[in-house]
Amino acid sequence: ADLGSFITALPKAELHLHIEGSLEPELMFALAERNGITIPYRSVEEVRAAYAFSNLQDFLDIYYAGAAVLQTRADFHDLATAYFDRAAADGVIHAEIMFDPQTHTERGVAFAIVIEGLLSAMAQAEARHGMTTRLILCFLRHLSEEAAFATLAEAEPWLEHITAVGLDSSELGHPPAKFARVFAAARAKGLKITAHAGEEGPPAYVWEVLDIIGTDRIDHGNRALEDAALVERLRTADMTLTVCPLSNLKLCVVDDLANHPIDRMLAAGLKATLNSDDPAYFGGTIADNYRAVAQARGLDRAALATLARNSFTGSFLPHETIASHL
């Protein structure tokens, strides 16, 4: 089989996927029409043309605006179902999806609407595709600690359906330590922890996530490579990094995929995984990310299999289930 088919057939877990970032322009138009909402684009082509970003904030502005079409339980259900159907076709057998409740509660869509729509899609995907799924609630780091605490309180009735909390949105100027107390409270409720760090932010932010937050995973982590002591710390901690190559390219974290550090991460003994982040905005699914780095960095099948294996050992599944996937 060719490398593309090998990649699709390789059983994979996706660990870094923002469900709001899986909103394809076609569904954006359909939901805008269904909900009587006006969006500032005339066509799907015009939407795709707007997806040219020079940094993370450029993208976030458009990503938060796009989320405005999401209004009802059915909208969140349809959004997640479209993602799970594509992921299953891509060889994803386990998906841990992130959502940003504050993006929706801030514009008057209730937390219950959001999570009930996502949970029904998760149950349906498990039944239809035989996959497993988990939900990660992300706090928006450009908002306050107080707002994050309010969101954690809103999540209380659904805690048995939430596996972990995460931290996303604008990284620069928002060091992780700002949320140390919220993460401690989440940990006390039995939730796992992950945090975006070292995407645009400096190695110091990755240190904070390790030393002050006490994380189970790091989302991105690219800039950790600038600090040899940090690389050593991540390696000895066996810390999983959820790396997103096409995202890195579109947000100018790397200038060219030919310079992507994924194989340097593996060579340094880091537990890297490959993920799509916001596939509708960054131009590719998880399998597209595997194919893109395989081509750009000349990864062989053994390296790709290692990355897929890391996606299971780095997942929040129970140990016995992980063992059954290895």
Binding residue ranges: 16, 18, 196, 277-278
Least distance CB 206 / ligand HPA (angstroms): 14
Which residues belong to the annotated binding site for substrate?
Answer: 278
Decide: is 154 part of the binding site for ligand HPA (CB under 6 A). no
Residue among 169, 240, 310, 311 that touches ligand HPA (CB under 6 A): 169
Q: Which of 247, 273, 285, 289 binds ligand HPA (CB under 6 A)?
A: 247
Q: Which of 199, 208, 226, 320 is catalytic?
A: 199
Distance of CA 204 to the CA centre of its chain: 21
Q: Is 196 in the site for ligand HPA (CB under 6 A)?
A: yes
**x/- binding map, residues 44-73, to ligand HPA, per CB under 6 A?**
------------x-----------------
The DSSP-derived string for 281-296 is HHT--HHHHHHHHHHH
Q: Which of ligand HPA, Zn ion, none does 199 bind, CB closer than 5 to 8 A by kind?
A: ligand HPA
User: Rule CB under 6 A: which of 11-40 touch ligand HPA?
Assistant: 18, 21
User: Measured between alpha carbons, how far is residue 100 from residues 64, 143, 323 in Å?
Assistant: 10, 12, 31
Provide the H-helix boundaries in the chain: 3-9, 25-35, 44-50, 56-66, 73-89, 101-105, 111-129, 145-155, 180-188, 203-208, 228-236, 245-250, 262-267, 279-282, 286-297, 301-313, 319-325
Q: Which does 240 bind (CB under 5 to 8 A by kind): ligand HPA, Zn ion, none?
A: none
In whole angstroms, the minimum distance from the beta carbon of 175 to ligand HPA comes to: 14
CA distance 326 to 259: 30
Residue 14 binds: one of Zn ion, ligand HPA, none (C-beta under 5 to 8 A by kind): none
Burial of residue 2 (number of CB atoms within 10 Å: 0-12, 13-18, 19+): exposed
Q: What is the 3-state secondary structure (H, E, C) of 39-88?
A: CCCCCHHHHHHHCCCCCHHHHHHHHHHHHHHCCCHHHHHHHHHHHHHHHH
Q: How many residues sit in the footprint of Zn ion (CB under 5 A)?
A: 1
Binding flag, residue 200, Zn ion (CB under 5 A): no
Q: Which of residues 47-66 bind Zn ion (CB under 5 A)?
A: none
Q: Is 199 in the site for ligand HPA (CB under 6 A)?
A: yes
Q: Catalytic residue at 199?
A: yes
* Burial of 149 from C-beta contacts in 10 A (0-12 / 13-18 / 19+): middle
Q: Which is nearer to ligand HPA, 18 or 325 (CB)?
A: 18
Rule CB under 5 A: say whether 277 interacts with Zn ion: yes
Active site residues: 199
Binding site for ligand HPA (CB under 6 A): 18, 21, 56, 168-169, 196, 199, 247, 277-278
